[in-house]
Structure formats: C-alpha cells, structure tokens
Structure 1
C-alpha cells in the first residue's frame, strides 16, 4: 500500500492544475472572509446594522443562482462554469474598491454570492467528471482539506496585512482576493482534460451518457429531477446538514461569549481546532469509509452531531477551564461528524444524479445550502434569545428527522448509489 493510498488521497496525475486552483481560490477567500463585515464598516464607513442588512439582502437575492447553475453545467460543462464564476468574482471584488454607496455594494455582493453559488455545484460536478472510478469521495475529501488549509493560511495572512496597513490593509485584502480568483480561473481554463470515454471532452463538457432504457425523449429539466423521490429525501438531509454546519460559524461564538459569558478567545481556538482536525483527518476518514454504505455513514455522522450538540448545551457558564474542556470535546465530536458527512453526502448526490442531469441535481443541493444560509442567522439568534440550550435542542431534533429519512433511503437506494465502485 502506497503512502498516498494510506493517507486516503486520490490519483491526481494530470489534474494538478485543478488542485492548485482550488488551493489558490481558498487562500484568497480566507484572506477576505474573516473581515467581510469589518471591511464594509471600517473601510467604507457604513454602519454595522446597515452592513448586516446589506449582506442578508444579498444572500436572499442570490438564492436562485444555484438552481440556475444546473442547466449551465449540464449544457456547457462544469469547467466553463467554474472559470466564469471565478471571473465574475474578479469583477465584483474589483468593484468593491471603487464604491462606497450601499445600494451599489448590495448589487456587487449579490453578484458575488451568485458567483459563489454557481462555483460550488460546478466544482462538485468537475470533481465527479475527472475523478478515477471509485475515488470520488476521496476527491471531495481532499478538496475540503485543501479549502480548510487555504482558509486558515489566508486568515493568518489577512490578519497580518490588516494589522500592518489598517484601512489600506482591508483594500489590499480585497485586491489580493480578486487576484486569487483570476489566478484560479486561469489555471482551470488552461487545463485540458484527457479524452476518456464517458467522462469528459476537450472542451470540458460531459461526454454524452448512453440513454437509459425507457428514458423520456427531449430536453430534461428540473421536473424530472424533482420527480426523483429518493433525491427529495436526500435534499431533506442536505438541509439538515447545512444547518448543522452553519452552527459552527453562525451560532457557536454568540453562544460561548453571550449566552455563557466565557472569554472571547475560546471560539477562535475552537475554530482552529476544527480546521486542524479537518486538514489532518479528512482524507483518511474518507478512505476508511469509502466501502461502507453512504446512508449508513451519514446516519453515524448525524448521531455524532446530536452528541456534540448535547455537549455544547450542557457547558457551564462562569467556569472557564471546565467550560472550555467541554466545548473542546464537543468540537472534536462535531468535527468527526463533519469528516464523515461532507464527502459521503457529496458523493451520494453525484451517484444518484448520473451524468446527464448532474448539474441540476447539484444546483438544487446548492439551493438547500443557500436557504440554510438565509434562515440560520435569524433562527439561531431567535432561539438563543429564548434559551441558551434551545438552538442545540432544535438542531438535535432536526438530526433525528434526518436519521429517519436516511434509514428509509438505505432501504430503497440501489447498491451502486450507496457504495463507491471502481466503475463509478
């Protein structure tokens, strides 16, 4: 067994430019993401409340972008959509530098989020297209580890730039992020996939898949996707997973600092712990679980999330050391759930979709994430205001519902969808 196989890494021969592009993209995003709210407040002199309204409005307006990406991916191929979405964000981040008018910034942020919502399903479809048979989960795991590495390194670099340059540092971070998107677009555009039958064509579009017996003639659309009962069940679980994931970024800091009165250094340390565990363990966990049924892996992940939410909920206030020990344990369990869920969930959607409608399936998956991003801030803060443990209880109940759905899927999904196979 090679070192690469032991670490759970996929075969990357001939696809290194895609990996470098992913890392560059994540590095640039990590530069800006921690300072997004502060940038519009400090560098553009916009009140914090207005910034919050701007970002919420942009998130709501960008919701249709995910489903709209589906037909584009299916028609033009994921590589072209990845390149285009990166170029769109080059333009919007450049635009941030030249305006401080709130309504113009709302337009720019909306277009930025549309680019992100089109990038994510296109990137997932591109991975499905280029991965060797049986290695999709490994590719999704490696992609996630790379993005966490880039986010972490970018956050540290961004902090140094802002600390050195003040308001000018914020502008430098925005410009560097635009450059990272341009670099990533150039790398993906310059890369040419090998002409493997049934996988990809030189232009980056999917090779036509053989028509299934009894398939309806003519152009397929979202009506056919939504008629897939199993996929409707998968979408329910995706919505739950999105809320669980967003609890880390949207809920945890407010819970630790405001609801429990604990020191402000604790959330940042917990985030760092999560990042390190993902970078170190994601590919190895994907390798260890790739031969297990995906619905079963997702059930275990969901149950682990329930345990982590229980640990977070019982953390005592006013006892910093004891509380941090409980939070750290909860974060380890939370991250274990993430490590199981992320590659298995992506691979399940792709396997269920097949190649002909893959973009539309992934577009609807992105829509569920977009809805969660809109709902989570208001829902979590509303629940937190009514009881410190209430958000964790609601999340645990959502997880319980997801387990029920996953058990049903385990009974009805065909074997090739449930497990990774060499000819996938």
Structure 2
C-alpha cells in the first residue's frame, strides 16, 4: 500500500476528543439501537421457512422485497435528504422500521410478510443516504473515515450481541419466541427516534444552497467514472456479501451443513468479535494508505471465507459447525476493510449539496445486490445446487478485484485516502 508522507495517528481517545458533540451523540447509542436488528437478522429466513411454513424460494423472494422497495425509494430519499435534511428523513425511516417489525412479529401469511418487508424496505432506502449524509455533515477530514470505521464496529457489536441472545432464545418449535424478538426489534427503534427528536433536534443535515449552486442529478453523478465503478463494486459487495448473510449463509448452513440455530447465532457472535476487536488495528493499518488496496485485501479474505464455508457440506457435523463459524470470522475481517473504504470514498467524492444523492447512488447499488442475492441463493439452494452457489460467490469476487483496480486509476489521492482531506 502507498502511504502519504505523514500518516495521521489513530487512537480511540484522540478520536473521541476530536469528535463534535453531535458525533458523540450519534455514536453513543449505536450498539443499543442495533441490538434489536441482531435479534432478528440471522433468523428471519428461518422464521419464514421453518416456523411459518413458507417455501425457501418464496422466503428468498420476500427478503429480496426489502431491497426492491429500498431501491425504489432510495433515489427520491436521497433528493429529499438534500432538500429537507437528513434528520427528518431518518425520523420517517425509523418510524417505518418500528411499524414493520411489529407487523412481522405477528405475520403468518405471505401478504402480511409483504407489508412488513415493504415498511422495512422504506426505512433502508431512505435511512442509508440520510444517515451517511448526517455523519458527513458533522464530521469532516480524516476523522470522517475513522468515524465510519468505529460506527461499523459498534453496529456489529449491537447486531452480534443480538445474534447471540436470539440464538439462545428462539426455538422453531415455539413461534412465540420469534414474535418476541421482532417486537424487541421494534422497541429498539425508540432509541434513535428519541435521539433525533431530542439531543439532535438542531442538526438538520442539510447544506445551504446559494443561487449559483449548480443542479446535479443522478445521471450527472453516474457519468463520473469513479462513481460508476464504485457503484458496481458496492453492488458486488452486497450480492456476494450482505445479500447472502441474511439468506444464503443461514440457508446453506442449515440445509447443507445441517447446523443448529445456536451455531448460526454463535457464528454471528464471532463475526462481531472479530470486527470489534480488530477494528482499530485495521484502521491504524489503512489510515493514510490507498483505500482501494484495502478493498483488494477484502476480496482475498472473502474468497477464503466462501471456500471455508464450502467444507460445511463435505464433512461430519463438527466440521460443518467449525466451517460455519470460521466463515463468519474471516468474512468479518474483510467487512472491516470494506466499511472503512466505501463510505469514505463516497463522501470524499461528493460536494455538500449533493451528499444525499451521492449516498443514495451507493445505497441503490447496495439494494440492487440485496435484491439479486437472496433470489439467486434461494433458487440454487432450493434446487440442491450448493456447489454452484459457492462457485458463483468466488467468481463474483474475481470480477470485483478487476473493478477495484480500475477504480483506483480514477480516484484522486485524497479520494483514495492517501492524503489528508
């Protein structure tokens, strides 16, 4: 990796001291508000298929519906973020999430799941660009990359703890246990709502526009080669990564590896432990170096993780459990590199008055991958094509590596994290 002449020093104490007050508020409650998400994330596909008796293929399509709705509202959501402010959009999205989780808690049929997932999709579609824009509006320079990294660690801490609790609590023979974790997810949304309506009520997350500020649309953004390549990379990251963590990974682990829900919950805990324990180590290693090189490290780690998971289907039960848990550990290490690089590149390329739309483009790519991911994994695993599933994941990562190399050629040193912004 290339370095700048002077790389900024990274420490948790200095980072916290440098944060403005709104940034501290945002970070202080992240783990708590994501705990509810962790309770449901590893077990949603199991809930739909094994508890409510809906086919695996339909379950994958239902999960993809979240991303379809999110993709539909991401564009308008990004524009509204720039016009009315990130805080207002976050309030709308979080309220939808609360209602959607409540519906899912009592869903017993496909139409009810559709309603719940539409509400969740609305939240994901408007909240991603709004949240990143809100962060970028209160944190700038090298501190911004550090913020995205620390925020990611705290998000995973909450999700991981939720996964452990959920794995110990839920039982496919007791539908009420799944109802309770979705209700807990709904209640956890009261934390960000209280934060946005209270301590952060004066932070709008909207840049002031002057009369001569040029109008920039989504097509204008996508005509920029670095934006286009980063969008493609984000799509692949989701299709191969996050689009499978909620669907392909637990389905493969249950059907091919035949592991228990407790093992899956423990795997999510290991994922969290790796991210939380190694976040600052990786952050120190990549600060001042090319972010694209970190993304290439991520590709190598993810290739290794999928090859490890493939062993879950060819050995005894103990080997399957080890493979499932190890997959999530190695995958989590790769996630750190991705979550440090992609949000930072996105926001360093964007001007303040188009930050909502720039993050919406990135969110749209994420949602696109999340649409295709569950559909592909659901189809392949329902038709006993687990080998093809693994090959597809590894092949996609090879394509991603080539795209990252091209992206690097189009980024300025500052956008790529080589010099202080």
Q: TM-score, normalised by structure 1?
A: 0.82
Q: 1:421 to 1:170 in 2, by over 3 A?
A: same
User: Which residue, out of 23, 28, 48, partners 2:54?
Assistant: 48
Q: CA offsets per residue over residues 267-321 of structure 1, 9 Å max, x none?
A: 4433322121112112331232121111121122112222333333456723344
1:236 aligned onto 2:232: yes
Q: What pairs up with 1:192-211 in 2 under 5 angstroms?
A: 192=200, 202-208=203-209
CA distance, structure 1, for counterparts of residue 31 and residue 343 of structure 2:
19
Alignment partner, residue 4 of structure 2 = none
Alignment partner, residue 127 of structure 1 = 135
Q: TM-score, normalised by structure 2?
A: 0.83
Q: 1:309 touches 1:330 (CA, 8 Å); kept in 2?
A: yes
CA distance, structure 2, for counterparts of residue 108 and residue 258 of structure 1:
26
Q: 2:308 touches 2:327 (CA, 8 Å); kept in 1?
A: yes
Q: 1:65 to 1:310 in 2, by over 3 A?
A: same
* Greater shift in the superposed pair: 293-302 or 151-160: 151-160
Alignment partner, residue 219 of structure 1 = 215
- Cα deviation, residue 352, structure 1: 1.7
- Cα deviation, residue 323, structure 1: 5.3
CA distance, structure 1, for counterparts of residue 181 and residue 320 of structure 2:
35
1:292 aligned onto 2:298: no
Q: What pairs up with 1:19-418 in 2 under 5 angstroms?
A: 19-36=27-44, 47-49=53-55, 54-94=62-102, 102-103=110-111, 105-158=113-166, 170-192=178-200, 202-208=203-209, 218-246=214-242, 247-260=244-257, 266-313=263-310, 317-322=314-319, 329-384=326-381, 385=383, 387-418=385-416
User: Which residue, out of 12, 25, 30, partners 1:17?
Assistant: 25
Alignment partner, residue 3 of structure 2 = none
Largest Rg, 1 or 2: 1
Mark the runs of 5 or more structure 1 residues left unpaired by the alignment.
194-200, 212-216
CA distance, structure 1, for counterparts of residue 194 and residue 326 of structure 2:
42
CA distance, structure 2, for counterparts of residue 388 and residue 39 of structure 1:
21
Mark the runs of 5 or more structure 2 residues left unpaired by the alignment.
1-8
- Cα deviation, residue 234, structure 1: 0.7
CA distance, structure 2, for counterparts of residue 387 and residue 40 of structure 1:
21
Equivalenced residues, count: 407
CA distance, structure 2, for counterparts of residue 322 and residue 36 of structure 1:
25
- Cα deviation, residue 242, structure 1: 0.9
Q: 1:237 touches 1:406 (CA, 8 Å); kept in 2?
A: yes
What's the secondary structure of 1:64's corresponding residue? Answer: helix
Alignment partner, residue 197 of structure 1 = none
CA distance, structure 1, for counterparts of residue 125 and residue 387 of structure 2:
32
Q: 1:101 to 1:159 in 2, by over 3 A?
A: same
CA distance, structure 2, for counterparts of residue 280 and residue 343 of structure 1:
15
Q: 1:256 touches 1:262 (CA, 8 Å); kept in 2?
A: yes
CA-based RMSD: 3.4
